[in-house]
Amino acid sequence: MLGKVSYHLYTPAIYDEEPERRFPVLYWLHGTGGGLAGIAPLSAFFDRAMREAKIPPMLVVFPNGLSASMWCDSKDGAVPMETIVVKELLPHIDATFRTVAKREARMLEGFSMGGYGAARLGLKYPEIFGAISILAGGPLDREFRGPRAAANPAERERNLQATFGGDLAHCQALSPLTVAQQNAAAVRGRSRIRQAVGTDDFSAELNRAFSAQLKQLALEHTFTEVPGGGPDTLALLRGLGERNWEFYRAALTPAPPP
């Protein structure tokens, strides 16, 4: 790696009030272009939900996935983003903060490029992440030719080159669908998965297709289309209404002691 990669961490107020308590963790993966601007509003969104007891108190980790890493290790090894998140950041968080260091207490969520990353990493590592939330994930086609790429071929080529070395076959080998096919048996009946997209989002059609492919693989999940909800993270989360909070509660509420 050419340099250090940062992360931000949200902790609920109760983290300091109950110094012996351990907490589940949500890993939030941002979309293309970087996620710094979204950290404050998302933290406020989760903080309010915790204060209103809609979701359990949890830590929220916001890794820096750079502008277009696709949350993959780059083919040339210069940006090993998957390795950073799974092999370096996650153990660091568990060693540094009071987490419940179990798959059942870890959730992976992301929007757009982050949804792609959540799908790919969550399906690849079901022994690490117990829940996966794919929000307007993209691009979820193996050709890396989603609507955004079609509208901006030059950007597609830059991203394809930066992460996948311009090698479409390598891109296809790393795609969430390929991972789902390869790892379906390990994921089936074990991971809690949801997928959501706004009906006006340019990724809606490919998200529908991805959901259908998960069904073909007998990977149980929920798929929700939110009316409207273009490429806006908080609009999509709010549009899910009570279903949103139900998913977090089911995914991250600690089990009672035996």
Show the domains of the chain with their CATH numbers.
Answer: 7-252 (3.40.50.1820)
Q: Are strands 59-63 and 7-10 parallel, antiparallel or unpaired?
A: antiparallel
On whether the CB atoms of residues 207 and 137 are closer than 8 A, the answer is yes
On whether the CB atoms of residues 134 and 119 are closer than 8 A, the answer is yes
Distance CA 104, CA 36 (A): 28
- Paired tokens of 53: 């007891």
Distance CA 191, CA 248 (A): 13
Q: Which residues, at least 6 apart from 164, have a Cβ–Cβ distance to it below 8 Å? A: 70, 72, 74, 75, 144, 170, 171, 174
Residue 256: pLDDT band (50, 70, 90) is low
- Paired tokens of 120: 């790919």
Question: What is the reported pLDDT for 139?
Answer: 87
On whether the CB atoms of residues 84 and 108 are closer than 8 A, the answer is no
Distance CA 145, CA 159 (A): 11
Q: How far does CA 1 lie from the centroid of its chain?
A: 22
End-to-end Cα separation, the chain, in angstroms = 44
Question: What is the reported pLDDT for 144?
Answer: 80
| Coil/strand/helix, residue 99 | strand
Nearest to 159 by CA among 179, 173, 145, 177: 145
Q: Which residues, at least 6 apart from 108, have a Cβ–Cβ distance to it below 8 Å? A: 26, 27, 29, 118, 121, 122, 129, 131, 132, 133
Least confident stretch, 31-35, 135-139, 142-146, 181-185:
142-146
Question: What is the reported pLDDT for 95?
Answer: 98
Question: What is the reported pLDDT for 150?
Answer: 65
* Mean pLDDT of all residues in 135-158: 79
